[in-house]
Amino acid sequence: MKSPVGSRKPMTLTELEDGLMAYRCEESGGYYIPSNCYMRWLSQQPAITPHIPQSDEHEQPEPSDMPPQARICPESGTIMTRYKVGHGFPFMIDRSITGGIWLDAGEWEALRARNFHDELNRVFTQSWQRTVRDTELQQSRRTRMEERFGADVLHRIDKLKDELQNHPNREELLAYLCE
């Protein structure tokens, strides 16, 4: 199989994890994981591991400054589709119509470090992508609010909001605030 990036040189078959075969691009350091290899490996895993929260100790591959180029699937020869991973990962992963997955250098390791490696098949689902979009929208709104009102005021409002959330006289207190 030829690499979907760079000079499209042939890739090397390698064992990415115990029992997970993938093709490695020696030029870029990326991996192409055929769908059947990933699903076979996934079926042999005891259970999905719980996610590890994002922290400074988990290294993330740096997103490229270059505009993303269309990747050609090494199996089908068709253009691969890019999907946001979300959940604090700054990168996108590519998927072929065959179900195969392309990961740039360092992405498998980043996903593995936070236990997302055993859910790659879910990244491409409508519900996962909806969650990613909703989270981005909330973060964008929060950023605009901080810029407009200041982080300190927003923090105090958040504390008040939490206090009012389950208060027995919530409606009356909200009406008072609106006066």
Among 54-58, 72-76, 138-142, the minimum mean pLDDT is found in: 54-58
SS3 83: strand
Q: Residue 9: what are its φ and ψ, rounded to 5°?
A: -75, 160
What is the C-alpha to C-alpha distance for residues 11 and 27, in angstroms, rounded to an integer?
9
Mean pLDDT score, 2-24: 93
Given a contact cutoff of 8 angstroms between Cβ atoms, the answer to whether 68 and 92 are in contact is: yes
Among 3-12, 29-38, 64-73, 85-94, the minimum mean pLDDT is found in: 64-73
Q: What pTM did the predictor assign?
A: 0.80
The percent of residues above 70 in pLDDT, for the chain, comes to 93
Q: What is the pLDDT of residue 64?
A: 56
Pairing relationship of beta strands 101-103 and 20-24 according to DSSP bridges = unpaired
Buried b (16+ CB within 10 A) or exposed e, 62-74: eeeeeeeeebbbb
Q: What value does the mean pLDDT of the chain take?
A: 90
Residue 23's H or E segment, with its range, is strand 20-24
What is the C-alpha to C-alpha distance for residues 35 and 44, in angstroms, rounded to an integer?
14
Q: What is the pLDDT of residues 111-135, one digit of tens each?
A: 999 999 999 999 999 999 999 999 9
User: What is the sign of the dihedral through the CA atoms of 16, 8, 71 and 89?
Assistant: positive
